[in-house]
C-alpha cells in the first residue's frame, strides 16, 4: 500500500540549504529523511546532530558515515548558490508548489530542482513515453494525439529523450500547450545535447524537473529511477512505441504501482517497437485510437471548464463533507443524501459542481466516485 506524505510544518527560511545538503548524501532517501524529520523536527537540527542522536533517529552505519563525510566537506551556502546561479529553484515536500499528485506516491522525492514553472493546470497531466528508436508511424501518432490532448488543456509530461519523448514535447509546444520534462541528471545539464534548444523552449512553456543534485552527470543508471516522477506527475501514462524490457516499460510499471491509468497505442504485431504497447493492451491497458479515449477515461473532456470553475468557485463545507464520504467505490446519490442528512437538491447541485471541477465522477446512473486527482489534491494524509 502506498502512503502519502504527511503534512509537516513549513521550513525555516534558511532550511532549504539543509534539504539541498541531505539530497546530496548517498544512502539517505525519502524514508530516512522522513525519519530524521520525525525525530528532530527540522533538518537543520538533524544536520548538526551528533552520531548517537542520528543513530537513534534510525540511520544505519553506512548512511551515518556518508552523512558525516558530507557534513565535513560540504559548504551548504555554496550548494544553494549553485542552484540560484543556474536560474533554477528547489522546492520541498513542504512547499505549496510541490505537485500534489507526485506528493501522493510512495517514496516521493523530498526535493525537486526545476527551471521554468509548475502551474495549477499541470494537475491535469498525461505522460507520453516510448522508444528512442521511434518510427515515422510512432512520431506521427505522437504528434496527432499530443496536439489533441494539448488543445483540451492537458499538460504533457515526458523525459526529453530522443524519439517519442522529444516528439511529445515538441508537439505540445507547437500546439501552444504546456509540457514538463523530467531529467535523469542535474538541472545544469541538457541531455541529449541536441535537445538544448528544445529544453530552453520547455522552460518558457512549462518546466524542466529533476530530483538529482546539481552537477549529476547523465549516467545510464539515473534514468530508470526518474521514471517514477514522470508517472507520478501524471493522471495516466501513454506508451506509443517500445520493445519489451525497454525504459518505457519501467515507466509503465511505475504507473501501475502508483495506480495511474495505463494507455497504449496498438501497432503492427511484427514490429519490435509495438511489442510493449501490444502486450500491455493484451494485459488490460486501455487501447488508444484517439485522444478521446484518454480524455474520457480520465474525465478530462472539460479540463478548461474545470480550471475556470475551480478558480471561480472555492471548495466549501458541503463539498468537503461529500468528498470525505466518497471513495473509489460507487455510492448512489440517495445513499449520500441519507448519510449526510442534506436536502437532495443540495446534494445534487453540489455534486454537479464537483463533477465540473473534476473532483468527482458519475458512474452507472446516479452513483458517484471521487476522482483520482481530487484524492491527491484534497485528501493527502
pLDDT tens for each residue of 308-365: 555 545 468 888 888 888 887 789 999 999 999 999 988 998 888 888 777 788 877 7
Q: What is the CATH number of the domain that holds 156?
A: 3.40.50.450
Within a domain: 182: yes
Same domain, 307 and 335: yes
SS3 assignment, position 287? strand
C-alpha cell recorded at residue 320: 468537503
Same domain, 141 and 243: yes
The domain total for the chain is 3
Within a domain: 101: no
Q: What is the CATH number of the domain that holds 362?
A: 1.10.10.10
The list of the chain residues with pLDDT below 70 reads 1-14, 302-315, 372-381
CA 96 distance to own-chain centroid: 15
Same domain, 52 and 148: no
Q: Looking at 41, 62, 96, which one is the last position of a domain?
A: 96
Within a domain: 6: no
First to last CA, the chain: 14
How many CB atoms neighbour CB 97 within 10 A?
Answer: 14
Q: Which residues of 19-44 are buried (b: 16+ CB within 10 A; e: fewer)?
A: bbbbbbbeebebebbbebbebbeebb
Residue closest to 240 by CA, chosen among 226, 252, 256, 228? 252
Contact status, residue 36 vs residue 23, Cβ threshold 8 Å:
no
Contacts of 199 (CB under 8 A, 6+ apart): 160, 181, 190, 208
Rounded Cα distance, 365 and 313, in Å? 26
Within a domain: 111: no
Same domain, 269 and 186: yes
Same domain, 201 and 312: no
Identify the domain containing residue 268 by its residue range.
117-297
Q: Looking at 271, 297, 323, which one is the last position of a domain?
A: 297
Cα angle 351, 357, 363; round to 5: 50
Same domain, 287 and 313: no
How many CB atoms neighbour CB 232 within 10 A?
Answer: 27
Same domain, 189 and 257: yes
For residue 247, the model assigns a pLDDT of 84
Same domain, 146 and 250: yes
DSSP state for residue 273 in the 8-state scheme = G
Beta bridge partners, 263, equal: 238, 286
Within a domain: 317: yes
Rounded Cα distance, 147 and 151, in Å? 6
Phi and psi torsions of 298, nearest 5°: -95, 5
Rounded Cα distance, 129 and 168, in Å? 8
Same domain, 190 and 312: no
Tens of pLDDT, residue by residue over 115-151, are 999 998 999 999 999 999 999 999 999 999 999 999 9
Same domain, 198 and 277: yes
pTM for the full predicted model: 0.78
Within a domain: 1: no
Rounded Cα distance, 60 and 359, in Å? 42
For residue 315, the model assigns a pLDDT of 67
Contacts of 208 (CB under 8 A, 6+ apart): 114, 115, 116, 160, 180, 181, 183, 187, 199, 202
For residue 245, the model assigns a pLDDT of 84
Within a domain: 108: no
Beta bridge partners, 42, equal: none
Within a domain: 109: no
Same domain, 259 and 199: yes
Same domain, 293 and 307: no
Amino acid at each position: 500500500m502506498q502512503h502519502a506524505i504527511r503534512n509537516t510544518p513549513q521550513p525555516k527560511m534558511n532550511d532549504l540549504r539543509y534539504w539541498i545538503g541531505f539530497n546530496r548524501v548517498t544512502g539517505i532517501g525519502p524514508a530516512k529523511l522522513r525519519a530524521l524529520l520525525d525525530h528532530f523536527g527540522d533538518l537543520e537540527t538533524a544536520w548538526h546532530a551528533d552520531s548517537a542522536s542520528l543513530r537513534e533517529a534510525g540511520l544505519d552505519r553506512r548512511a551515518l558515515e556518508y552523512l558525516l563525510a558530507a557534513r565535513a566537506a560540504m559548504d551548504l551556502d555554496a550548494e544553494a548558490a549553485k542552484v540560484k546561479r543556474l536560474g533554477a529553484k528547489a522546492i520541498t515536500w513542504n512547499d505549496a508548489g510541490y505537485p500534489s499528485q507526485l506528493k501522493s506516491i510512495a517514496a516521493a522525492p523530498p526535493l525537486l530542482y526545476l527551471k521554468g514553472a509548475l502551474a495549477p493546470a499541470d494537475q491535469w497531466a498525461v505522460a507520453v513515453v516510448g522508444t528512442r528508436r521511434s518510427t515515422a508511424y510512432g512520431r506521427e501518432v505522437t504528434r496527432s494525439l499530443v496536439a489533441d490532448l494539448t488543445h483540451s488543456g492537458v499538460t504533457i509530461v515526458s523525459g526529453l529523450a530522443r524519439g517519442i519523448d522529444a516528439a511529445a514535447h515538441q508537439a505540445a509546444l507547437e500546439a501552444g500547450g504546456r509540457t514538463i520534462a523530467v531529467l535523469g541528471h542535474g538541472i545544469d545539464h541538457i541531455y541529449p545535447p541536441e535537445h538544448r534548444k528544445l529544453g530552453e523552449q520547455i522552460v518558457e512553456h512549462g518546466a524542466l524537473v529533476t530530483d538529482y543534485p546539481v552537477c549529476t552527470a547523465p549516467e545510464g543508471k539515473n534514468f530508470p529511477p526518474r521514471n517514477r516522477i514522470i508517472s507520478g506527475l501524471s493522471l495516466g501514462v501513454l506508451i506509443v512505441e517500445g520493445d519489451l524490457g525497454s525504459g518505457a516499460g519501467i515507466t509503465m510499471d511505475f504507473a501501475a504501482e502508483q495506480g495511474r491509468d495505463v494507455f497504449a497505442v496498438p501497432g503492427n504485431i511484427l514490429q519490435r517497437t509495438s511489442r510493449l504497447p501490444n502486450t500491455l493492451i493484451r494485459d488490460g491497458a486501455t487501447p488508444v485510437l484517439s485522444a478521446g479515449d484518454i480524455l474520457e477515461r480520465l474525465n478530462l473532456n472539460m479540463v478548461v471548464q474545470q480550471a475556470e470553475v475551480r478558480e471561480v468557485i472555492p471548495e466549501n463545507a458541503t463539498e468537503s463533507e461529500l468528498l470525505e464520504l466518497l471513495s473509489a467505490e460507487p455510492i448512489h446519490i440517495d445513499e449520500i443524501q441519507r448519510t449526510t442528512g442534506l436536502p437532495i437538491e443540495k446534494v445534487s447541485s453540489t455534486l454537479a459542481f464537483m463533477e465540473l471541477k473534476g473532483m468527482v465522477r458519475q458512474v452507472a446512473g446516479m452513483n458517484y466516485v471521487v476522482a483520482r486527482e481530487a484524492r491527491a489534491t484534497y485528501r493527502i494524509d
